[in-house]
Amino acid sequence: MMTEEVKEELEIHLLEMVQMTIESGDSAWALMSISPEKYQDYKVKIETGDDLDINEYGRVLAYGVGETEPTPEENERLLEEFGYHPDLNMEEKLKKILEKGSG
């Protein structure tokens, strides 16, 4: 039987860089790990500009306050630790995952 920790490690999640303004009024960014099941709802909230609690859609892997995007050094760390690269196309990755799951 799989523990919840092992099960979570095996789940496929999408990485998404989020730029936001936090309650203090400061700019911030966060690298999110979003489950495919919640991705569509997340995108709708983003596109409509509705307020959202990012913790409802996934887990924050890394963040920074005072900037809207990571520095080049932070991007290197995000690539090493999480496999995130700023040029990734989440929409295409999601389509491939869904096609694989239905095939």
> What are the φ/ψ torsions at residue 50 (nearest 5 degrees)?
-65, 150
Mean pLDDT of the chain: 81
CA dist., res. 4 & res. 90, Å (int): 26
pLDDT above 70: residue 92:
no
- Per-residue pLDDT reduced to its tens digit, 12-60: 788 888 888 888 999 999 999 998 888 889 888 888 877 778 788 889 9
Closest CA to 14 of 47, 42, 53: 42
What are the DSSP E strand ranges found in the chain?
Answer: 14-21, 27-34, 58-65
| Beta-sheet pairing, 14-21 with 27-34 | antiparallel
pLDDT above 50: residue 2:
no
The residue ranking higher by pLDDT, 87 or 22, is 22
The residues that bridge with 20 in the sheet, in sequence order, are: 28
